[in-house]
């Protein structure tokens, strides 16, 4: 396995050092862990252990995307479901931002109910969310500005 690990690490390093931005997607696994004498369920990427050990040393940000109920802007008791990008490591989530630029929780633009999900609409929202994430990475928006969210 040592030779295949070295080969995998070499080519991952070449890819990650290229001029392209690299996003690696993974499903998730739920693992039972013991924290302070109680059992908790931890969410981790479903990569094979050996591959995860190599990749985790080389990436700057590991996030978890989930749906969450958030308060509607300007409404005291109204909530809506949004996509939320989690970058903070916790007992329950294997995530992290080693750049220090991303907020712990970033609320993304979500296609509202009632709008047909055409290719053009999906692409528009993907571009909006990419621009939002990019604004943190490039330093145009500072991590402290996390009170403002997208609409």
What is the model's pLDDT at position 129? 93
- Block mean pLDDT (10 aa), the chain, length 151: 88 85 80 83 83 83 87 82 88 85 92 91 94 88 58 44
Does the model's pTM come out above 0.75? no
CA distance 107 to 75: 17
C-beta separation of 69 from 81 below 8 A: yes
**C-alpha distances out from residue 6 to 44, 46, 58, 133, Å:** 23, 21, 14, 32
> Residue 36: CA atoms inside 13 Å, Cβ hemisphere, count?
1
What's the gap between Cα 88 and its chain centre?
9
Give the separation between CA 128 and CA 111, rounded to whole angstroms: 11
End-to-end CA distance of the chain: give it in Å, rounded.
48
C-alpha pair distances (Å), 47 with each of 1, 11, 24, 28, 29: 16, 17, 10, 8, 9
Q: What is the pLDDT of residue 144?
A: 66
Q: Which residues contact 88 (CB under 8 A, 6 or more apart)?
A: 95, 96, 97, 104, 105
pLDDT at 107: 92
Q: Return the pLDDT at 106.
A: 92
State residue 151's pLDDT score: 44
């Amino acid at each position: 396995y040592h030779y295949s690990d070295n080969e995998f690490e070499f080519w991952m390093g070449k890819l990650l050092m290229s001029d392209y931005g690299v996003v690696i997607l993974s499903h998730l696994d739920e693992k039972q862990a013991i924290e302070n004498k109680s059992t908790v369920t931890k969410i981790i990427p479903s990569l094979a252990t050996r591959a995860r050990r190599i990749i985790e040393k080389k990436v700057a940000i590991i996030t978890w995307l989930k749906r969450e109920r958030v308060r509607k802007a300007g409404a005291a008791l109204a909530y809506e479901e949004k996509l939320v990008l989690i970058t903070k490591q916790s007992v329950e989530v294997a995530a992290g931002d080693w750049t220090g630029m991303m907020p712990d929780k970033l609320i993304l633009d979500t296609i509202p109910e009632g709008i047909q999900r055409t290719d053009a609409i999906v692409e528009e929202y993907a571009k909006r969310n990419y621009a939002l994430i990019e604004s943190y990475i490039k330093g145009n928006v500072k991590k402290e500005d996390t009170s403002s969210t997208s609409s």
